[in-house]
Chain A
Amino acid sequence: MSLVSEGADLRGSVPAGPGIACAEPSLASVGDYLALMKPRVMSLVVFTALTGLAVAPAHIHPVIGFTALLCIAVGAGAAGALNMWYDADIDARMVRTARRPVPMGRVQPGEALAFGLTLAGFAVATLGLMVSWVAAALLAFTIFFYAVVYTVWLKRATPQNIVIGGAAGAFPPMIGWAAATGSLSLEPVLLFLIIFFWTPPHFWALALYRTDDYARAGVPMLPVVAGDAATRRQVLLYTAIMVPLGLSPWTFGFAGLLYGATAALAGAVMLVLAWQVYNERRPADRASRNLFAFSILYLFLLFAVLLVERGWGGSLLGWAVT
């Protein structure tokens, strides 16, 4: 079954008159289309891509840099729209996602699909033509990875969905780096690995206190399939892998002392919170909520310090590190 036909089957057909397919004129507002692009996810993508772009050892004209970030943002939005098109049926069954434009009926599934595909095409083509084909290829792969590999293949099939699918969220710094340099090296791979290993504890912390929601929607998140205790063990394990990776830009000489100190301190807090999650038992959920909230701050802190130290802040303040 193709992507298009499966989506169409899931969502049913448009009510039609005798012999004529006639869709109700759309009531979708501009805000609904913006919501399709998952603006909160997009902001994190733009921020990590900006870091990759700014810390790369190459000069990029501000207009070209802005174009690259715009394309990455729009590409991320396109992936979000395609995800919402495909997942409308399970979104409708989850409290957290039930008010999204497609399950609410404000945007028709076909409109979301067309919107996502159009944005994806524009973003990849513009990034390739105006900035770099390496970056464009990475962006295209990222959209494919999120919309097809994660959303279609993994999300409903395996509890490892967010582990493998997390790669999609980890690519933006590599795209930013590739936009600036036209190539890839160890440094953006380290940034990729940090986000890749950050994703499981971040999402499983959320899933631990939203287990019923995921179970109702039939999404095989780890707490639903493997249970509470196994998930807490995995959260601790992935956090223990992530914290040294968070320090790796400093240990590899790619970041300075400020970054190293921040990564060590924030990493220690992550470990303490993950340990609390490991020792917590349902129905208590305070530790899970704390870890979920702090994990966002953790990633923001690491990339912000790197941006200041190595990126534009560094060049302004003369804090060259390597």
Chain B
Amino acid sequence: MSQVLDFAMDDKRPDEDGVVLSEAQKRARRSRSIAIAVALAALVILFYAITLVKGPGVLNRPL
């Protein structure tokens, strides 16, 4: 029981317990994360600009 608790409270699990990323996989993940962050930031700026252009009626549009 105490072993289970020790394990649950320990952030660092043994390596063989999880997926261990290679350096190439870490680099790929990092580049994807940066790309997602950039895309999200660009969307925020775009939606802000659209709101400025369309004014208060930003969601009022004719079919």
The answer to whether A129 touches B25, judged by C-beta atoms less than 8 angstroms apart, is no
Using A25-B29, A133-B63 as known contacts, say yes or no to A64 and B53 having CB atoms under 8 A apart.
yes
Using A64-B53, A67-B46 as known contacts, say yes or no to A132 and B61 having CB atoms under 8 A apart.
yes
Interface residues of A (CB under 8 A from B): 22, 25-30, 33, 61, 63-64, 67, 70, 129-134, 182
Q: What residues of B have a CB within 8 angstroms of the CB of A25 in the complex?
A: 19, 21, 25, 29
Q: What residues of A have a CB within 8 angstroms of the CB of B61 in the complex?
A: 129, 131-133
Residue among A26, A64, A131 making CB contact with B25, cutoff 8 Å: A26
Give min CB distance, B55 to chain A, whole Å: 11
The answer to whether B32 touches A28, judged by C-beta atoms less than 8 angstroms apart, is yes
A25-B25, A64-B54, A67-B50 known; 18 new pairs, CB 8 Å cut-off, are A25-B19, A25-B29, A26-B28, A26-B29, A27-B25, A28-B28, A29-B32, A30-B35, A63-B49, A64-B50, A67-B46, A129-B59, A130-B50, A131-B61, A132-B61, A132-B62, A182-B62, A182-B63
Q: Which of B8-63 contact A (CB under 8 A)?
A: 19, 21, 24-25, 28-29, 31-32, 34-35, 46-47, 49-50, 53-54, 58-59, 61-63
Interface residues of B (CB under 8 A from A): 19, 21, 24-25, 28-29, 31-32, 34-35, 46-47, 49-50, 53-54, 58-59, 61-63
B contacts with A: majority SS: helix
Q: In the docked arrangement, what's the CA distance between A132 and B54, Å? A: 13
Q: In the docked arrangement, what's the CA distance between A30 and B28, Å? A: 8
Using A64-B53, A132-B61, A182-B62 as known contacts, say yes or no to A27 and B35 having CB atoms under 8 A apart.
no
Interchain Cβ contacts under 8 Å between A and B, 23 examples: A22-B19, A25-B21, A25-B25, A26-B32, A27-B24, A28-B32, A29-B28, A29-B32, A30-B31, A30-B34, A33-B32, A33-B35, A63-B49, A63-B50, A64-B53, A129-B61, A130-B47, A130-B50, A130-B54, A132-B62, A133-B63, A182-B62, A182-B63
Q: What residues of A have a CB within 8 angstroms of the CB of B47 in the complex?
A: 130
The answer to whether A29 touches B31, judged by C-beta atoms less than 8 angstroms apart, is yes
Residue among B19, B24, B53, B59 making CB contact with A63, cutoff 8 Å: B53
Give min CB distance, A289 to chain B, whole Å: 36
Q: In the docked arrangement, what's the CA distance between A22 and B25, Å? A: 15
Using A27-B25, A29-B31, A67-B46 as known contacts, say yes or no to A134 and B63 having CB atoms under 8 A apart.
yes
Question: Which residue from chain A places its CB closest to the CB of B50 in the assembled complex?
Answer: A130
Question: Which residue from chain B places its CB closest to the CB of A27 in the assembled complex?
Answer: B28
Give min CB distance, A61 to chain B, whole Å: 5
Give min CB distance, B38 to chain A, whole Å: 9
Q: In the complex, which of the residues B24, B54, B58, B63 has the most CB atoms of chain A within 10 Å of its own CB atom?
A: B63
Give min CB distance, B62 to chain A, whole Å: 6
Q: In the docked arrangement, what's the CA distance between A29 and B54, Å? A: 36
Q: In the complex, which of the residues B21, B28, B47, B54 has the most CB atoms of chain A within 10 Å of its own CB atom?
A: B28
Q: What residues of A have a CB within 8 angstroms of the CB of B32 in the complex?
A: 26, 28-30, 33
Question: Which residue from chain B places its CB closest to the CB of A131 in the assembled complex?
Answer: B61
Give min CB distance, B45 to chain A, whole Å: 11
